Amino acid sequence: MLINNFRLQIAVEYLGQNCHFVYLAPLWKSVLDFDMRIDNTSSLVGKDLITGKHYGHKLGGMAGVANVGTNITWVGYDLAQSNLYAYGRLAWDPTRDPEDILHEWTRLTFGLDPMVLNTITEMAMPSWRSFENYSGNLGIQTLTDITGMYCV
């Protein structure tokens, strides 16, 4: 019997221990939308495999590894909470758009001010690629130096 097994890394120990703001939903969405082409048919990770649909399972799902603590924001700082929220929304519906999820979270967290929404969106949406570009320069892809000058 094949068991669907999909886990997302929500904890940020490989992203500099919360020293860098990285909104991970766009990364996760790229994986969820990936077509595995199983049995020579379209088999999207999120829509077909995680849900169990491809194999005719009635149930499916995903798990996440998070580092929730006793901090008032649970995860260290306000913007990091967006990843935990996005994980929950994508686990519920893997077809959701990461930017829509971010807008929803921003409105619920900070209110309806369009300037706040636009500012957070402009910071969050490119943050995964930005982090990847400055922490894994030239394809080296080393773990983030959590003791060096970049953590303040």
Query: What gap in Å lies between CA 52 and CA 59, rounded to an integer?
Result: 6
DSSP 143: P
Tens-of-pLDDT digits for all 152 residues of the chain? 344 567 777 776 666 666 678 899 999 999 999 999 988 999 888 888 888 888 888 888 888 888 777 777 676 778 888 999 999 999 899 999 999 999 999 999 999 999 999 999 999 999 988 887 777 665 555 555 555 555 54
Q: What is the pLDDT of residue 3?
A: 46
Asked whether the beta carbons of 37 and 45 are under 8 A apart, the reply is no
The model's pTM: 0.82
Domain range list for the chain: 7-138
Asked whether the beta carbons of 14 and 68 are under 8 A apart, the reply is no
Q: What is the pLDDT of residue 120?
A: 97
How far lies 80's CA from each of 77, 83, 116, in Å? Answer: 6, 6, 16
SS3 9: strand
> Topology of domain 7-138, per CATH?
TIM Barrel (3.20.20)
The letter for the amino acid at 60 is G
Asked whether the beta carbons of 79 and 110 are under 8 A apart, the reply is no
Q: What is the pLDDT of residue 90?
A: 93
Residue with the two structure tokens 């953590």? 151
What stretches of the chain show up as alpha helix (H) in DSSP? 25-32, 81-92, 98-110, 114-124, 127-135
